[in-house]
């Protein structure tokens, strides 16, 4: 959902990011994003929900920022892309593991979500291997997932079942996104060469 908005309003994203786009090594920003995600996971585990929400959103921001820096300063490399996507998966697991270990979320929901999120991401890279183009289709992309987790963490402060309900929504949308990406790949593979 967020990638579609970003594609629709690319100038808005550039304006929001511009003050933060400085000439640094984007790989250092990717490393910072990973450390922030690990911290977010710890905060989720410990039920420190306000800092958890802030760090989850900060991870998403830094994940966007490394790409903007790489594009702006012509520092895009295959290694940087590999590092970014690898760290994103580790960050996803760190945040979702923190959510899984939170006392308000049943283990089966958390672990199921971790598995589905990794499978959805796998299909994105599988599409790239098969077609040369990465696939970001689906109702729930990485940015959407991070916003949903942050909102769930904040809502838990006022509503006792917010993280539980958010985990159900997260798992459900991950299942749908997996099906959407799977179907998109099948369509790609069935196109005449």
CA distance 24 to 18: 14
Q: Classify residue 191: in a domain, yes or no.
A: no
**Chain segment 46-66, per-residue pLDDT in tens:** 999 999 999 999 999 999 999
Count: domains in the chain: 1
CA distance 161 to 105: 9
Residue with tokens 């895009």: 76
Report residue 16's pLDDT band, with 50, 70 and 90 as the boundaries: confident
What CATH number has the domain bearing residue 148?
1.20.120.1760
Q: Classify residue 29: in a domain, yes or no.
A: yes
Q: Classify residue 144: in a domain, yes or no.
A: yes
Give the single-character DSSP code of 189: H
Q: Does 151 score more than 60 pLDDT?
A: yes
Q: Does 2 score more than 90 pLDDT?
A: no
CA distance 154 to 29: 26
Number of residues written out for the chain: 193
Report residue 6's pLDDT band, with 50, 70 and 90 as the boundaries: low
Domain that holds residue 120: 2-186
Q: Does 68 score more than 80 pLDDT?
A: yes
Q: Which has more confidence, 72 or 162?
A: 162
Q: Is 78 exposed, middle or buried (0-12, 13-18, 19+ CB in 10 A)?
A: exposed
């Amino acid at each position: 959902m967020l990638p579609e908005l970003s594609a629709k309003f690319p100038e808005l994203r550039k304006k929001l990011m511009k003050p933060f786009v400085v000439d640094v090594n984007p790989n250092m920003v990717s490393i910072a994003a990973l450390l922030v995600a690990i911290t977010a996971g710890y905060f989720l585990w410990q039920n420190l929900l306000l800092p958890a929400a802030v760090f989850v959103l900060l991870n998403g921001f830094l994940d966007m920022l490394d790409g903007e820096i790489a594009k702006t300063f012509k520092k895009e490399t295959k290694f940087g892309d590999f590092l970014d996507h690898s760290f994103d998966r580790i960050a996803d697991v760190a945040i979702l593991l923190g959510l899984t270990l939170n006392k308000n979320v049943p283990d089966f929901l958390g672990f199921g979500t971790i598995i589905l999120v990794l499978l959805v991401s796998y299909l994105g890279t599988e599409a790239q291997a098969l077609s040369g183009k990465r696939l970001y289709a689906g109702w729930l992309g990485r940015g959407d997932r991070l916003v949903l987790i942050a909102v769930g963490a904040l809502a838990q402060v006022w509503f006792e079942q917010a993280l539980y309900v958010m985990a159900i929504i997260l798992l459900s949308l991950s299942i749908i996104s997996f099906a959407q990406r799977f179907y998109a790949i099948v369509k790609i593979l069935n196109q005449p060469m």
